[in-house]
Amino acid sequence: MSRASRLRLPALAAGAAMIALVLGACGENMTTPDETDTTATDATTPTVAVNSSVAGFDAQQVYADAAPSVVTIISILGDGGLSGGGGQGSGFVISDSGEIVTNAHVVTDAEDTGASNPSDIHEAKQVYVEFGDHNQVPADIVGFDPNADVALIKVDPDGLDIQPIELGNSDDLAVGQPVAAIGSPFGQQQSLSTGIVSATDRSIDSLTQFKIDGGIQTDASINPGNSGGPLIDADGEVIGIDQQINTTSGGNEGVGFAVPINLAKRSIDQLRDNGEVSYPYLGVATMTLFPQLAERLGVDTDHGVLITQVNPGSPADEAGLKAGNDRFRFQAQQVIGGGDVIVEADGDQLEQDGDLATAILDKEPGDTVTLKIIRDGKTEDVDVTLGDRNDAESG
Which residues form the catalytic set?
Answer: 105, 149, 227
3-state secondary structure of 170: helix
Whether residue 151 contacts residue 141, with contact meaning beta carbons closer than 8 Å, is answered with yes
Whether residue 95 contacts residue 164, with contact meaning beta carbons closer than 8 Å, is answered with yes
d(CA 345, CA 26): 36
CA distances in angstroms from 277 to 22, 84, 150, 365, 391, listed in the order given:
24, 29, 10, 11, 12
37 burial level (CB within 10 Å; 0-12, 13-18, 19+)? middle
DSSP string for 330-344: ETTEEEEESS-EEEE
Write the single-letter amino acid at 155.
V
The CA-CA-CA angle for residues 58, 241, 192, to 5°, reads 35
Q: Please tell me the number of Cα atoms within 13 Å of 234 on its side-chain side.
A: 13
Neighbours of 273 (CB within 10 A): 11
DSSP string for 296-350: HHT---SS-EEEEEE-TTSHHHHHT-----EEEEETTEEEEESS-EEEEETTEEP
